[in-house]
């Protein structure tokens, strides 16, 4: 298609490094939609005849049905999806096919196709996130007031509730979802009509093609239109952040489902066995989600590196954008689906959570807070007194609430029986009524808000 000035055919290795059809055939639907919109515009503006445009638009539908049916003769000789489609169109309709490429270039064509594809993935990711958020919300609702240990440094910190912990992830995934929506809104400008780089001398109507393809407007600068790939980078960075959130949740599931923690039971649907150890039930899906995060973050770094030194406008380097984005998008959608299924089927062990919630003197802060509230001590002094009581409990091998009266009163004469109630995990979580805190009332209020939003 570009061979007019060439006397020799490309070397085999040249062809192998140059052809992208095995990757960019995934853009077929977008490529055909873009070409159909372009053909309609060429007719409306009088650049090609109505009958040629009609033949082109119908021929493209035939091409699309061949691709959908798996009968399309993809050819590496034709490099990429754009030339494969156009060559097949020529086979089907003859001479009018040659008019389709008037007032456009593969540079604006591929930029348009790819924006359309990434736009679809932004929508799919938002849908996948909504399913996951609903699964987390279901868990939060079931265990809104179930105490469990809250950790810092993976050391017991203060009791929290299962519902509160689930909602922490709902917040994260909601931000990911908003980031995909933002990325979508920013990418939704149409490069078509930028042609090779400088625009075109034909009287095209860029607003028409932009509207036809669901874009908000045409890109305002033709050089930027063909050379920008930050929409793909933004998709990848959003995907990488989202994958990182998935990975943290996956890690918690791995820890929680271990025999040592025993906080949750994985459904058989989301675990595997060992070929040698009959007792094993492994959290493979969680582990793989954790691992696949590396692939998605890697795709972001790969494309950042491809783009970082490129002068304006198009360089063939940019052909390497698609493989990374395709793989990252597939990986993210799969990870979202697996996580949503795993969470929906997860069985938290309420008793084990409750037992662990009280271990490790998790309510020591409640004692210190009581000394401040009831006895008016400065917090620092209350902290010190409580610390001495924790040491005493450690020495006696008992819980803070089980320390004998004389020991408590020796630490501070104002301490009364009331603190034994204060030291229960139920009292501890119920007391954390600050906005966004772990008290079941607060958790239920947040659940109600999320249910309305979703
Ligand atoms: N296959 C190419 C890509 O994906 C299409 C654009 C080719 N443009 C060019 N000037 N060779 O980037």
Q: What are the structure tokens assigned to 292, written together?
A: 């696949």
Residues 302-327 have pLDDT tens digits of 999 999 999 999 999 999 999 999 99
19 with 79: CB under 8 angstroms? yes
208 lines ligand 1 (CB under 6 A): no
Residue 97: predicted pLDDT: 98
Residue 2: predicted pLDDT: 75
Residue 273: predicted pLDDT: 83
Residue 276: predicted pLDDT: 81
- Report the residue among 27, 101, 106 best suited for mutation to probe ligand 1: largest number of ligand atoms under 8 A from its CB: 106
Strands 189-190 and 155-161: unpaired
117 lines ligand 1 (CB under 6 A): no
Q: What are the structure tokens assigned to 202, written together?
A: 């034909």
Rounded-to-integer distance, Cα 359 and Cα 391, Å = 14
Instruction: Tell me which residue of 76, 45, 81 sits closest to 63, measured CA to CA.
Output: 81
Residue 274: predicted pLDDT: 79
24 lines ligand 1 (CB under 6 A): yes
**Which one from 153, 201, 434, 435 is the annotated catalytic residue?**
153
Rounded-to-integer distance, Cα 318 and Cα 336, Å = 28
Give pTM, 2 decimals. Answer: 0.94
- Report the residue among 21, 22, 27, 110 best suited for mutation to probe ligand 1: largest number of ligand atoms under 8 A from its CB: 110
Residues 49-88 have pLDDT tens digits of 999 999 999 999 999 999 999 999 999 999 999 999 999 9
Annotated active-site residue 153? The verdict is: yes
- Which residues of the chain are under the pLDDT cut of 70? none
Rounded-to-integer distance, Cα 108 and Cα 446, Å = 46
Annotated active-site residue 274? The verdict is: yes
Neighbours of 254 (CB within 10 A): 18
Instruction: Tell me which residue of 152, 145, 156 sits closest to 363, measured CA to CA.
Output: 156
Instruction: Tell me which residue of 399, 419, 421 sits closest to 409, measured CA to CA.
Output: 419
319 lines ligand 1 (CB under 6 A): yes
């Amino acid at each position: 298609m570009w061979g007019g000035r060439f006397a020799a055919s490309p070397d085999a290795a040249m062809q192998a490094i140059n052809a992208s059809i095995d990757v960019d055939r995934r853009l077929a639907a977008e490529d055909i939609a873009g070409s159909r919109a372009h053909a309609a515009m060429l007719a409306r503006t009088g650049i090609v005849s109505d009958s040629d445009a009609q033949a082109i638009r119908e021929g493209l539908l035939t091409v699309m049905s061949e691709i959908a049916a798996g009968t399309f003769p993809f050819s590496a000789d034709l490099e990429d999806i754009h030339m494969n489609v156009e060559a097949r169109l020529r086979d089907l309709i003859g001479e009018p096919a040659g008019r389709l490429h008037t007032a456009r270039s593969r540079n604006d064509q591929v930029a348009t196709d790819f924006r359309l594809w990434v736009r679809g993935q932004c929508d799919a990711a938002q849908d996948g996130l909504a399913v996951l958020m609903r699964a987390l919300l279901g868990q939060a609702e079931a265990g809104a007031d179930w105490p469990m240990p809250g950790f810092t440094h993976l050391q017991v910190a203060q009791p929290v509730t299962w519902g509160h912990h689930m909602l922490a992830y709902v917040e994260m995934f909601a931000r990911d979802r908003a980031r995909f929506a933002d990325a979508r809104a920013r990418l939704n400008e149409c490069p078509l009509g930028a042609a090779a780089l400088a625009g075109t001398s034909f009287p095209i109507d860029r607003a028409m093609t932009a509207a036809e393809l669901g874009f908000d407007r045409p890109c305002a600068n033709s050089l930027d239109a063909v050379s920008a790939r930050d929409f793909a980078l933004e998709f990848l960075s959003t995907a990488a952040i989202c994958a990182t959130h998935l990975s943290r949740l996956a890690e918690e599931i791995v820890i929680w489902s271990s025999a040592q923690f025993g906080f949750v039971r994985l459904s058989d649907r989301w675990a595997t066995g060992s070929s040698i150890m009959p007792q094993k039930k492994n959290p493979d899906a969680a582990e793989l989600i954790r691992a696949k995060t590396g692939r998605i973050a890697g795709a972001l770094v790969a494309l950042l590196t491809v783009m970082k030194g490129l002068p304006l406008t198009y360089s063939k380097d940019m052909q390497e954008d698609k493989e990374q984005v395709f793989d990252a998008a597939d990986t993210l959608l799969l990870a979202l689906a697996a996580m949503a299924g795993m969470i929906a089927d997860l069985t938290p062990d309420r008793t084990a959570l409750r037992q662990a919630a009280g271990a490790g003197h998790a309510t020591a802060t409640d004692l210190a807070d009581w000394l401040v509230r009831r006895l008016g001590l400065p917090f620092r002094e209350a902290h010190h007194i409580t610390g001495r009581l924790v040491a005493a409990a450690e020495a006696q091998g008992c819980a803070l609430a089980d320390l004998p009266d004389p020991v408590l009163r020796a630490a501070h004469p104002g301490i009364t029986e009331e603190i034994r109630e204060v030291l229960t995990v139920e009292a501890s979580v119920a007391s954390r009524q600050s906005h966004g805190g772990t008290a079941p009332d607060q958790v239920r209020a947040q659940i109600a808000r999320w249910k309305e939003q979703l």
